[in-house]
Amino acid sequence: MDHKLRVLVRLDVDPSSAVLEVTGCLTADSWGTLAPLIRKTTALVGGQRITVDLTSAQHIEGSALSSLRDSAAGRDFELRIQSPEFLPECPSLAPSGRGGMQP
Ligand SMILES: [Zn+2]
Protein backbone atom coordinates (compact mmCIF):
# COMPACT_ATOMS: atom_id res chain seq x y z
CA MET A 1 0.00 0.00 0.00
CA ASP A 2 1.26 3.42 -0.93
CA HIS A 3 1.39 5.66 2.10
CA LYS A 4 2.57 9.14 1.36
CA LEU A 5 3.84 11.35 4.10
CA ARG A 6 3.22 15.03 3.51
CA VAL A 7 4.57 17.56 5.92
CA LEU A 8 4.14 21.29 5.87
CA VAL A 9 6.62 23.25 7.93
CA ARG A 10 5.15 26.45 9.30
CA LEU A 11 7.57 28.89 10.81
CA ASP A 12 6.13 31.13 13.45
CA VAL A 13 6.66 34.86 13.72
CA ASP A 14 8.30 33.87 16.96
CA PRO A 15 11.57 32.55 15.52
CA SER A 16 12.03 30.00 18.28
CA SER A 17 9.08 27.83 17.39
CA ALA A 18 7.78 25.96 14.38
CA VAL A 19 4.87 23.75 13.47
CA LEU A 20 5.17 20.57 11.44
CA GLU A 21 1.78 19.95 9.92
CA VAL A 22 1.36 16.36 8.78
CA THR A 23 -1.29 16.00 6.08
CA GLY A 24 -0.46 12.61 4.59
CA CYS A 25 0.03 9.16 6.11
CA LEU A 26 2.00 8.80 9.32
CA THR A 27 2.97 5.14 9.47
CA ALA A 28 5.77 3.19 11.12
CA ASP A 29 7.66 3.52 7.82
CA SER A 30 7.06 7.20 7.26
CA TRP A 31 8.00 7.91 10.88
CA GLY A 32 11.56 7.23 9.69
CA THR A 33 11.18 10.22 7.36
CA LEU A 34 9.51 12.47 9.90
CA ALA A 35 12.06 11.95 12.68
CA PRO A 36 15.02 13.56 10.81
CA LEU A 37 12.69 16.32 9.63
CA ILE A 38 11.90 17.17 13.25
CA ARG A 39 15.64 17.32 13.96
CA LYS A 40 16.28 19.58 10.96
CA THR A 41 13.44 21.89 11.88
CA THR A 42 14.71 22.06 15.45
CA ALA A 43 18.11 23.15 14.17
CA LEU A 44 16.43 25.69 11.89
CA VAL A 45 14.51 27.46 14.64
CA GLY A 46 17.16 27.18 17.28
CA GLY A 47 15.32 24.37 18.98
CA GLN A 48 12.92 25.90 21.43
CA ARG A 49 9.51 24.56 20.66
CA ILE A 50 8.29 22.27 17.90
CA THR A 51 4.66 21.35 17.44
CA VAL A 52 3.72 18.32 15.39
CA ASP A 53 0.17 18.84 14.21
CA LEU A 54 -1.51 15.59 13.25
CA THR A 55 -5.05 16.90 13.24
CA SER A 56 -5.07 17.16 9.43
CA ALA A 57 -3.32 13.85 8.80
CA GLN A 58 -5.14 11.44 6.51
CA HIS A 59 -3.86 8.34 8.21
CA ILE A 60 -2.13 7.74 11.55
CA GLU A 61 -0.76 4.41 12.69
CA GLY A 62 -0.85 3.94 16.43
CA SER A 63 2.71 2.59 16.47
CA ALA A 64 3.99 5.67 14.64
CA LEU A 65 2.23 7.90 17.15
CA SER A 66 3.87 6.06 20.06
CA SER A 67 7.28 6.42 18.37
CA LEU A 68 6.61 10.12 18.08
CA ARG A 69 5.54 10.36 21.73
CA ASP A 70 8.62 8.36 22.82
CA SER A 71 10.88 10.66 20.85
CA ALA A 72 9.41 13.66 22.66
CA ALA A 73 10.75 12.40 25.97
CA GLY A 74 14.19 13.38 27.11
CA ARG A 75 14.71 16.13 24.56
CA ASP A 76 16.27 19.49 25.24
CA PHE A 77 13.43 21.20 23.42
CA GLU A 78 9.71 21.12 23.81
CA LEU A 79 7.95 18.79 21.39
CA ARG A 80 4.22 19.19 21.39
CA ILE A 81 1.98 16.70 19.65
CA GLN A 82 -1.50 17.56 18.51
CA SER A 83 -3.36 14.46 17.48
CA PRO A 84 -7.01 13.74 16.78
CA GLU A 85 -9.01 11.75 19.32
CA PHE A 86 -9.57 8.92 16.87
CA LEU A 87 -6.73 7.87 14.59
CA PRO A 88 -7.83 8.12 10.96
CA GLU A 89 -7.60 5.05 8.73
CA CYS A 90 -5.80 5.26 5.41
CA PRO A 91 -8.10 6.58 2.65
CA SER A 92 -6.42 4.21 0.20
CA LEU A 93 -7.67 1.26 2.27
CA ALA A 94 -11.24 2.48 2.39
CA PRO A 95 -13.78 0.73 0.18
CA SER A 96 -14.35 2.70 -3.00
CA GLY A 97 -18.07 2.74 -2.56
CA ARG A 98 -18.64 1.44 -6.11
CA GLY A 99 -20.35 -1.84 -6.63
CA GLY A 100 -21.66 -1.92 -3.09
CA MET A 101 -25.08 -3.05 -2.02
CA GLN A 102 -27.75 -0.58 -2.92
CA PRO A 103 -31.09 -0.52 -1.08
ZN1 LIG B 1 -1.94 5.54 4.50
- The string of pLDDT tens digits covering residues 49-94 is 899 999 999 999 999 999 999 988 877 788 999 999 999 999 887 6
Parse the chain into domains and list their residue ranges.
Answer: 7-85
Task: Find the 48 Cα to ligand 1 centroid distance in Å.
Answer: 30
Task: Find the 61 Cα to ligand 1 centroid distance in Å.
Answer: 8
| pLDDT for 102 | 47
Q: How confident is the model at residue 100 (pLDDT cuts 50, 70, 90)?
A: very low
Whether pLDDT at 18 is above 60: yes
Task: Find the 90 Cα to ligand 1 centroid distance in Å.
Answer: 4
| pLDDT for 54 | 98
64: enclosing H helix or E strand: helix 62-72
Mean pLDDT of 37-45: 88
Options 3.40.50.300, 3.30.420.40, 3.40.50.1980, 3.30.750.24; CATH of 7-85: 3.30.750.24
Total-model pTM: 0.84
Whether pLDDT at 99 is above 60: no
Is 18 within 8 Å of 11 (Cβ atoms)? yes
